[in-house]
Amino acid sequence: MTEIVYPVWHQRLAKSLHVNNSQVQSKYYQVASVSSNGDPKNRTMVFRGFLSGTQSLLSVTDSRSEKIEQWQGDNKSRFEICWYFAGSREQFRLAGEVALISHSIDSNYGNWVLGEHTKHNLLKQQWSNLSTNAKQPFYSNSPKAPFDEDAIQSFPQDGLVNQGNDINDEFDSRSNNNSAPRNIAGHYTDISDNFCVVVFIPHAVDYLNLKSKPQQRCLYDIQDDWKERTVNP
Ligand SMILES: Cc1cc2nc3c(=O)[nH]c(=O)nc-3n(C[C@H](O)[C@H](O)[C@H](O)COP(=O)(O)O)c2cc1C
């Protein structure tokens, strides 16, 4: 088996994740896209690991959310992630292309995007990592639809059924539709059609370390075989 040699930026990022592991906010990054009229759009997302065997980063979202439209279509699938680790005072800016993996989105990505995964096993793996609370909004009314208080019904409480690895239960409070298929313990059993795995495929990385003396800034580009270029901050 050939050993994967990770680019220096990837090694730095893995180290930052390890060093800042105790801070829950180190799993959140800001992700930018561009709207159809050219306006910049930006939001916080949860980092859900690297796609195994690749440099790509994973997040999940609702396929009905506005960011999805911004990332669909020719020349639109661009992103920039800005990720600050407060403990080690490091910033990573990663730019590249987005791949959207969902039962409700037509896509035909090859192995170079999905690595050793198939579409279904990636969706299944990421869905099973979510707690019941985090799964629930995917079965609810559409994001940004007018709030409907009557649609709120009781749904399983954290202590009883929240057994996923999800770290982001504050991001799951939209109204509830209890018709989604669940097993006896209250778990949502089917992967919602609205569930979408976002694969961020980096093409360029800009690393800044404010802690080192002097401050350090390094640039990496896939076109340049991810060679490290040290530049002035
Ligand atoms: C701490 C935190 C984590 C979040 N994580 C996610 C996430 O992983 N996926 C997601 O779609 N939205 C997440 N959100 C909500 C987004 O920031 C955003 O409000 C929502 O996705 C709608 O964005 P859009 O209108 O650009 O599609 C999170 C918000 C916060 C505050």
Q: Is 66 left (phi over 0), alpha (psi -120 to 50) or beta?
A: alpha
In the chain, the DSSP E strands lie at: 28-34, 40-46, 57-62, 78-85, 90-102, 195-209, 216-221, 229-231
Confidence of residue 171 (pLDDT cuts 50, 70, 90): low
Which residues are within 8 A (CB) of 111 and not within 5 positions of it... i.e. 6 or more apart? none
Residue 63 falls inside a structural domain: yes
Residues of the chain above pLDDT 70, percent: 85
Mutation choice for ligand 1 from 39, 45, 72, 167, CB with most ligand atoms inside 8 A: 45
Residue 136 main-chain phi, psi, to 5 deg? -55, -45
| Cα(82)–Cα(95) distance, integer angstroms | 9
Residue 1 falls inside a structural domain: no
Mutation choice for ligand 1 from 31, 33, 44, CB with most ligand atoms inside 8 A: 44
Residue 198 falls inside a structural domain: yes
The boundaries of the domain holding residue 92 are: 8-231
CA of 66 to the centre of ligand 1 (A): 11
Kindly tell me if the per-residue pLDDT of 149 is higher than 90: no
Confidence of residue 109 (pLDDT cuts 50, 70, 90): confident
Residue 186 falls inside a structural domain: yes
Residue 145 falls inside a structural domain: yes
The total number of structural domains that make up the chain: 1
Kindly report, residue by residue over 6-40, the tens digit of the pLDDT: 999 999 999 999 999 999 999 999 999 999 999 99
CA of 161 to the centre of ligand 1 (A): 23
177 burial type by CB count under 10 A (0-12 exposed, 13-18 middle, 19+ buried): middle
Q: Which pLDDT score is estimated for 4?
A: 77
Residue 162 falls inside a structural domain: yes
Q: What is the mean pLDDT of residues 43-68?
A: 96
Give per-residue burial for 120-143: e unless 16+ CB within 10 Å, then b.
Answer: eebbeebbebbbbbbbbbbbbbeb
From the alpha carbon of 25, which atom of ligand 1 is closest?
1
Coil/strand/helix, residue 166: coil
Kindly tell me if the per-residue pLDDT of 167 is higher than 80: no
Q: Which pLDDT score is estimated for 73?
A: 72
The residue length of the chain stands at 233
Q: Which pLDDT score is estimated for 160?
A: 36
Q: Which pLDDT score is estimated for 165?
A: 54
| Cα(128)–Cα(124) distance, integer angstroms | 6
Residue 2 falls inside a structural domain: no
Mean pLDDT of the chain: 87
Nearest C-alpha to atom 3 of ligand 1 is from which residue? Answer: 45
CA of 29 to the centre of ligand 1 (A): 10
Question: What is the CATH classification number for the domain harbouring 159?
Answer: 2.30.110.10
Question: Would the pTM of this model clear 0.85, i.e. be above it?
Answer: yes
Residue 106 falls inside a structural domain: yes
Confidence of residue 114 (pLDDT cuts 50, 70, 90): confident
